[in-house]
Amino acid sequence: MMGDRQIIKGCAKHDRKAQKQLYERYSGFLLGICLRYSSDKAEAEDILQDSFLKIFFKINEFSGTGSFTGWLRKVTVNTAITHYHKNLKYRYNVDIEDFVSSETGISSFEEDYFTSDELFNVLNNLSAGYRMVFNLYAIEGYKHKEIAKMLKIDTNTSKSQYSRAKAVIREKLEELRTMKVNYPADNR
């Protein structure tokens, strides 16, 4: 079993054995990232494949000064953004001032109240734009100005879509919570 440095050097030389080890070591981690940015597993697998192609061809760009997993994550997120742009059918801009929040009044949910599958389904059912902005802001930690530049949208649109995504998530979690309270036997 090779270490990361050996794998990186091997991949830089297009060594198939090193590429295979890189894939086996990181494909699960990177697929998880792809799933957050896609509408289904097939789309996530397409993004993953494109990500690995970029990783294999651009591995020389990894400077070695930062985290290798961080570099892999960045390549994968950027690939997901590229995929989003290629498949974007409708784009619209809404200023944040035009948005009135539809808060549900729920301040918080109990920890561990929802399963990871339930949370994944709620996030996965967001529209592509909302899901993209929510993931980039809430999970990856980008600022709205950076997101706007990456997605080629206005900063206020990023803020608006994030705000709307949170409202939709709250609404869906409240519906799910209500179902669990009213029909506990169905949620075993």
pLDDT given for residue 84 in this prediction: 87
Distances (CA, A) of 87 to 39, 81, 83, 129: 11, 10, 6, 11
pLDDT given for residue 107 in this prediction: 41
Query: End of a domain among 87, 105, 132?
Result: 87
Element (H, E) at 151: helix 144-151
pLDDT tens for each residue of 130-166: 999 999 998 888 999 999 999 999 999 999 999 999 9
- Mean of pLDDT values over 167-180: 87
Q: Mean pLDDT, the chain, as a whole number?
A: 84
Please indicate, yes or no, whether residues 49 and 107 belong to a single structural domain of this protein: no
Cα separation of 72 and 87, whole Å?
A: 23
Please indicate, yes or no, whether residues 44 and 25 belong to a single structural domain of this protein: yes
Q: What confidence category does residue 2 fall into, taking pLDDT thresholds of 50, 70 and 90?
A: confident
pLDDT tens for each residue of 86-121: 876 544 444 443 433 344 444 444 545 678 788 888
User: Which of these, 71, 79, 25, 78, lies nearest to 50 by C-alpha position?
Assistant: 79
Please indicate, yes or no, whether residues 55 and 138 belong to a single structural domain of this protein: no
Please indicate, yes or no, whether residues 107 and 173 belong to a single structural domain of this protein: yes
pLDDT tens for each residue of 24-73: 999 999 999 999 998 889 999 999 999 999 999 999 999 888 899 999 99
User: Which of these, 87, 8, 14, lies nearest to 44 by C-alpha position?
Assistant: 87
Determine the structural domain holding residue 17 and report its residue range: 4-87
pLDDT given for residue 57 in this prediction: 93
Distances (CA, A) of 150 to 34, 62, 92, 119, 184: 17, 20, 16, 26, 43
Residue 91 exposed, middle or buried by CB count within 10 Å (0-12, 13-18, 19+):
exposed
Q: What confidence category does residue 184 fall into, taking pLDDT thresholds of 50, 70 and 90?
A: low
Cα separation of 75 and 128, whole Å?
A: 19
Amino acid, single-letter form, for residue 148: A
